[in-house]
Amino acid sequence: MEKFYPLSDIASLLQRYARGELSPTQLVERIHVEIRHDPDHVWITPLPLESLKYYATQVEAKGMTGLPLYGIPFAIKDNIDLAGVPTTAACPAFTYTPSRSATVVRRLMDAGAIPIGKTNLDQFATGLNGTRSPYGACRNAFNRDYISGGSSSGSAVAVAKGQVCFSLGTDTAGSGRVPAAFNNLIGYKPTKGWLSAHGLVPACRSLDTVSIFALTAADAARILEVSAGYDAEDIYSRQREEYNFDFGAVSHFRFAVPRRQQLQFFGNLESERLFYEAVASMHTLGGEAIEIDFEPFLEAARLLYEGPWIAERYTAIQSFFESQGDQIIAPIREIISAAKQYSAADAFKGYDQLRRIKQQADQIWQGVDCLLTPTASTIYSVQAMQQDPIRLNTHLGYYTNFMNLLDYTAVATPAGFQHNGLPFGISLVAPAHQDMPLLHLAHRLQALYSLPLGATGIALPKTHFPDVLQSSQIRIAVCGAHLSGLPLNEQLTTRQGRLITSTTTSSDYKLYALPGQPPQRPGLIRVNENERGFAIEVEIWELPARKFGSFVALIPAPLGIGTITLVNGETVQGFLCEHYAIKKATDISHFGGWRNYLQQLAHP
C-alpha cells in the first residue's frame, strides 16, 4: 500500500483521476488504512473496506462524465443518516440503523461522492466544543491538547487532516462554524432550508441546517450546487432565491463590524490582533468598514439558551429523554432539563421578542452588504473545557448563536494563526439567500491570506470560483436620468440595484438630447464605421434578474434596452435610442456625457 498523502481540494483530485494517476478504489483503500487507527476520536463509524470499495467501483463503472463529484470522499456527521449504517447522535443507547440515506447524502452520492463514514460530535449536537461525546473528546487537528470545536467536531477534523475532501455537519448555534475556525477550514452555514434536513436527528428543528466543511470556498460552492434543492419531505425546506447584489465580486463594498466596546475576546490578545488584521484585509479587497450597534445580535443570541428555544431541543428527543435520560451525558442533560420551566405562553412571548429584535438587527442591511465578526472569541484546552463545560462553551457562541434565529447565512473563513500555532477564523454574515456573494468574498479572502489547506500543509491552489455558480444578476449601463443622483435613479435603487462602477462606452457612440417633457432624457446611438464616434460616460449598475422586467417596462419610446460595448471591450445591457428620434434631437456627443451637458445648461 502506497503512503497516504493528505487530500487537497476537489478540483485537484478530479485532475488526478482524469490523468489516470489514481482511481477511486485506490484512494479509498489508502483512506481506510489512514483512519482505522483513530487516536483523536474523529470517527464513530468508519465504513468497512468492503463498503468503501463497493461505492468506489460503482462510481468507476459510471465514469467521470456527468458526475461532478466523481470519486470525491466525504464524511458525515453522525446525526445525519447513511443507509445501512448506525446513526448514534453520539449516544449509544439512542442508536438506530436507517434504511434510507438523508436527502443531502443521497444527492451527493448521486453526483459521485463516496461516503467514508460517520464522525464524532457533541452529543445530540448540543455544544460548540467537541468534548461532549462518550466516544471521546475529538482533538484539534493542530494541537490535540486543544478542543476541535463542536458540535460537528469529527467532520471538521477529518477535512483538516486531509482524510476527506469535504464533510457534512449541522449548524444550529454555530456547530458548522466554530470547528472550522479552530481547524483552519471553510465552514459554510447555508440559508436555512436550502439543504434538506430530511434524515437529520434534529436539535432545534426550526433552526437546524446541514452545513458544509471544505478546504476552499470554491469547494463549498461546488458542494452547495450539487446538494441544494427543495425537498417536500422536509417541512422547513425552501426554494433558493436570487441574491440582491454580488458584493463579494466587486471592487467596493461595505461591511459592518461591531463597536469596539462590544467586541469580546475573553482575554485572548492574539484573537484580537488577528481580527483587526482581518478588518485590514477586507479593506485591501475594497471593503469599507461601518461600525454598528451589535446589541440586537447579542440579545438574539441570548434567547437561544436562555429563552424558550431550549424547549425545542427537549421536544426533539422527548421520549428518549424521559425514558433513558440517564444515558445522556451530564452537561447536555442539565441544559435540556431547563426546558421544563417554559410554557407555551413563554414560547409565544419569545417569538414576539425575537420579531422585535430582528426588526432592529435587520436595519443594518440598509447601509452594509455583510457583517464581519470573529467566528469564536478564543479557544480552550480540552482540560479547561472539561473543568468548566457550560460557561466556556457559552463564550464560544458569542458571535454565532444569533445566526439562525435571525435567519442569516454565514461563511466561516480562515484568517491566520496565533503565535502558539492555533488557527483563528472570521465569519462573513449576510441575510438569507445572500450565500453566493459571501462565498465569492470568502474565496477572495482565502487567496489574499494564502494559508495552507486545513492542517495538511498543502498550499492553497489557484482555483477559479465555479462558473456554474455565477450570478443571475444583470448588469446595465445607464447614461442619462438614471445616473446616480438624477431624477430616475430611484427606479434602480428601489429594485435593489447597486452601482458597480463608472466608465465609458467604446469610442463609436453618439449622445443626443431628446426633446420632450421633464425629466429630460438622452439618446445613445452607435455610429456606422465611416462616422466619427465618441466615448460616452456611463454608470454600470447591477440589478437582480427578477427585477429587470419591471424596470424595462418603465422605459418609454424611443428608448429601449440593447447591447452596449464598453471601453474595455466588455458588453452589457444598456439604454439605446431608435434612429428616427435623433432627427429632432441635439447632438451633445462632444460633451462626453450627460452630466457635463447638464452642467453646461446650468452654467452656460
Task: Supply the residues annotated as catalytic.
Answer: 77, 151, 175
Among the listed residues 65, 37, 34, 36, the one whose alpha carbon sits nearest the alpha carbon of residue 48: 36
Phi-psi region of 261 (alpha: psi -120 to 50; beta: other; left: phi over 0): alpha
b/e burial code for range 293-328 (CB count within 10 A of at least 16 → b): ebebbbbbbebbbebbbbbbbbebbeebbeeeeeeb
Place of cell 440582491: 244
Question: How many of the other CB atoms lie within 10 Å of CB of 601?
Answer: 10
Pair 409, 431: CB distance under 8 Å: yes
Torsion of CA 382, 393, 343, 328, to 10 degrees: -10
Among the listed residues 255, 220, 247, 238, the one whose alpha carbon sits nearest the alpha carbon of residue 471: 247
Write the burial class of residue 555 (CB in 10 Å: 0-12 exposed, 13-18 middle, 19+ buried): middle
Pair 522, 588: CB distance under 8 Å: yes
**Separation CA 323–CA 325 (nearest Å):** 6
Pair 533, 509: CB distance under 8 Å: yes
Place of cell 482533538: 139
Pair 336, 390: CB distance under 8 Å: no
b/e burial code for range 222-243 (CB count within 10 A of at least 16 → b): bbbebbbeebeebebbeebeeb
The alpha-carbon radius of gyration of the chain (Å, integer) is 27
Place of cell 417541512: 235
**Separation CA 380–CA 147 (nearest Å):** 6
Q: What is the DSSP letter of 556?
A: P
Among the listed residues 500, 509, 504, the one whose alpha carbon sits nearest the alpha carbon of residue 475: 500
Give the up-direction half-sphere exposure of residue 568: CA atoms within 13 A in the CB hemisphere: 7
Amino acid residing at 341: Q
Write the burial class of residue 26 (CB in 10 Å: 0-12 exposed, 13-18 middle, 19+ buried): middle
Question: How many of the other CB atoms lie within 10 Å of CB of 141?
Answer: 27
Pair 215, 180: CB distance under 8 Å: no
Pair 328, 124: CB distance under 8 Å: yes
Phi-psi region of 66 (alpha: psi -120 to 50; beta: other; left: phi over 0): left
Among the listed residues 454, 11, 27, the one whose alpha carbon sits nearest the alpha carbon of residue 223: 11
